[in-house]
């Protein structure tokens, strides 16, 4: 299960990036676009950091 959770986080990040882009193209409120984009960034960072080697 080592690579499953970061992979799911990166998939989620891709979906959120697509959602943010779609919201932007539909001229949704800026707050909705920014929240979706921020969640995409957090999911990406979480997935990448999870894959980095560390102690343990």
Whether residue 1 lies inside any domain: the answer is no
Question: Which residues constitute the domain of residue 17?
Answer: 7-21+30-50
Total domains, the chain: 1
Whether residue 55 lies inside any domain: the answer is no
Phi, psi of 31 (to 5 degrees): -60, -40
Kindly report each contact of residues 35-39 with a partner whose C-beta sits within 8 Å and lies 24 or more positions away, as own/partner: none
The residue to which tokens 């990166």 are assigned:
10
Whether residue 34 lies inside any domain: the answer is yes
Query: Quick one: tokens of 39?
Result: 């969640």
Whether residue 15 lies inside any domain: the answer is yes
Reported pTM: 0.88
Whether residue 11 lies inside any domain: the answer is yes
Structure letter (DSSP) for residue 1: -
- The helix/strand/coil state of 28 is coil
Per-residue pLDDT tens over the stretch 1-56 = 678 999 999 999 999 999 999 999 999 999 999 999 999 999 999 999 999 887 65
pLDDT on residue 56 = 56
């Amino acid at each position: 299960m080592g690579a499953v959770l970061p992979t799911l986080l990166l998939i989620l990040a891709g979906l959120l990036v697509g959602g943010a882009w779609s919201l932007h193209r539909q001229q949704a409120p800026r707050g909705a676009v920014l929240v979706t984009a921020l969640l995409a960034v957090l999911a990406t960072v979480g997935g990448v950091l999870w894959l980095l080697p560390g102690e343990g």
